[in-house]
Structure 1
Amino acid sequence: MTYDVGYRFSQALDPSGLDTIATCLHALQAAAKDCSNAGKPFETDPAVVLLAQHLGSVATIKMPDRPALRSLCGDALAEIARTPLLVLLAARGVSYDADAKRTFHTEARRALKRLAGDLQLPAKSFDIRVCEGGPAVSGEVILHAEELYLQVSISGFGGGEILFRRCRGRSDYCGELNHWARMPALLDTSALARRIAQELGLFLAAEIQPRLVA
C-alpha cells in the first residue's frame, strides 16, 4: 500500500473544494489517517488545524449564529423529551441501526410488562420474548398468554405497529382475527388493556383504572 502523507497539506492550503460540512469532515478524517500513516500527532498537525478552522468557517456560513444554534438545540431537546422513545423509533425506523433496534426491543419489553400487569395476567401465565430478525427489520417483541397473542414491530405492513389477537394457549401461533393499534397506544397501557379486553372479549377481574402517564 502506498501513502500520500503530504496530501493533507495541499488540501489545507487550498480547501476551495471543501464547501460543505460533509466534505470538510471527510477531509478531516482523511487527514487523521494521513497523520497515523506518517506517525505524526493528530492534535498538533498544522494541516489538521487548518482544515478544522475551515470546517468552522463553512459551518458559520451554512448555519445561524451561535446563540441561535443553542436555541435550536434546546428546542430539539424539548421536542425529544415530549416524544417517547417508542414513538420516535417507530417514526424513524431501526433498519440497519443495531443500537436503535436494541433500544426498541428494551422499551417494547418494558411496555409489554406494564401491559401484562394491566391485563391482570398472573406471573407465570404469559411469556415476553423477542424475535430478533435480520438487520433490515425491527424484529418483534411478543407477549403470549393463554388467550392473547400480541406483537410489537416497526414495519410498513398491516394496520399498525401493534398486532393482537385471541389465541388458544401458548402453543397457538395463528389464533383468531388480527386487530391492530399504533405505537402511541403503548404509552397508556391501561387504556390499551381495556381496548384489548373489549375487542377480544377477554374477562378482566376488575375495572382497569387509567394509568397516569408521566
Structure 2
Amino acid sequence: MIYDVPFRHQQALDPSALTTVTATLHAIEKAVEDCRNAGVSPESDPAVTLLTRHMATVSANRADEGVLRAACTRRVEELKRFPTLLALAIRGVEYDAAAKARFHEDGKRAMLLLASALGLATESYEVRAVTGTVDQSGYILLAAADLAVMLQIGARHEGREVSYRAVSGGLEQQNRFASIRDLLKPDRFADRLCRDLGLSRPGRPNDLPTQLAA
C-alpha cells in the first residue's frame, strides 16, 4: 500500500521541538521512511530538505569548515594508531567479554608505551589490569614509585578516561584527569605528566619495554 502522512511536513514547518542532532536525525530518518511509503523521492521532498537544513542549526559545534576538517583529519590519524581502543572507549565494554578483553589488551599496551615515553626502567614500574565484574569495564593501572596512572572507559568517564596523580612518600596526591586521546600520544602526554606532577623525566631508553615484544 502506498500512502502519505502530513506529519513530516508539519514537523519541517515547525522544528522547534527538535533541539538536538539525535532528535533531528531521527526525524529525518522517519521522514525518509514516509517518503518511501508514499512513493516520493526523499532527494526532492521539501520536508526532508527543511529537516536536513535544520540539522545545522541544532549542532553545538559552530566552528567553521576548516576547523572541522582539521579535527576530522586528526581523528583519522588517532584511529589509525589505536582504532579499537578509541572505539571501545566510546561504546563501553560492559557485559561484552570479547570487547572487554580487547580493551585490557590494548590498554596495557598503551600504558607500556607511556612508561617507555617517561623513561621508566622496566623493573621500576608495574602495569596491571583489574577486570572487575561483568557489568564493569575494569581498569588498567600504571604504578611507579612517584606516580600512578589509571585508564577507565565508559559513559561516566567520557573525556576523563585517564586519571593520574603523584605519589610522594607512599602517599597518593590528588587526581588529575585527561582524555584517552592524550594517552595515545605518549611522548606529549609524558611531558604533561612531568610538568603537572613536578617530576623529572629520565633519558628515554632506545628500545621499548620487553613486554611490548610479545
TM-score band, normalised by shorter chain: 0.5 to 0.7
Q: What whole-Å deviation, never above 9, does each CA across 1:182-204 have from its counterpart, x for those lacking one?
A: 11112211111011110001101
Distance 2:193 2:77 in 1: 30
Q: What whole-Å deviation, never above 9, does each CA across 1:82-132 have from its counterpart, x for those lacking one?
A: 571111101000010000000000001001111000000011000100111
Q: Which has the higher contact order (CA 8 A, sep 6+)?
A: 2
Structure with bigger gyration radius? 1
Identity fraction in percent? 33
Task: Tell me: CA distance 1:157–1:107, structure 2 relative to 1, closer, same or farther (3 Å).
Answer: closer
Is 1:166 paired with 2:172? no
Runs of 4+ in 1 over 3 A off after TM superposition: 78-83
Question: Which residue of 2 is the match for residue 194 of structure 1?
Answer: 191
Question: Which residue of 2 is the match for residue 118 of structure 1?
Answer: 117
Number of aligned residue pairs? 130
Question: Which residue of 2 is the match for residue 34 of structure 1?
Answer: none
CA contact (8 A) 2:110 2:183 kept: yes
Tell me by how many angstroms 1:168 deviates: 3.1
Instruction: Name structure 1 gaps, 5 residues minimum.
Output: 1-60, 62-77, 209-214
Question: Which residue of 1 is the match for residue 126 of structure 2?
Answer: 127
SS at match of 1:180: strand
SS at match of 1:198: helix
Tell me by how many angstroms 1:79 deviates: 11
Kindly report the root-mean-square deviation, in angstroms, between the aligned alpha carbons of the 2 structures: 2.9
Task: Tell me: CA distance 1:91–1:193, structure 2 relative to 1, closer, same or farther (3 Å).
Answer: same
Q: What whole-Å deviation, never above 9, does each CA across 1:9-60 have from its counterpart, x for those lacking one?
A: xxxxxxxxxxxxxxxxxxxxxxxxxxxxxxxxxxxxxxxxxxxxxxxxxxxx
SS at match of 2:129: strand
Distance 2:95 2:104 in 1: 14
Distance 1:179 1:139 in 2: 19
Instruction: Name structure 2 gaps, 5 residues minimum.
Output: 1-35, 37-75, 206-214
TM-score (norm 2): 0.55
Question: Which residue of 2 is the match for residue 68 of structure 1?
Answer: none
Distance 1:109 1:99 in 2: 16
TM-score (norm 1): 0.55
Is 1:109 paired with 2:108? yes
Distance 2:178 2:159 in 1: 7
Task: Tell me: CA distance 1:140–1:196, structure 2 relative to 1, closer, same or farther (3 Å).
Answer: same
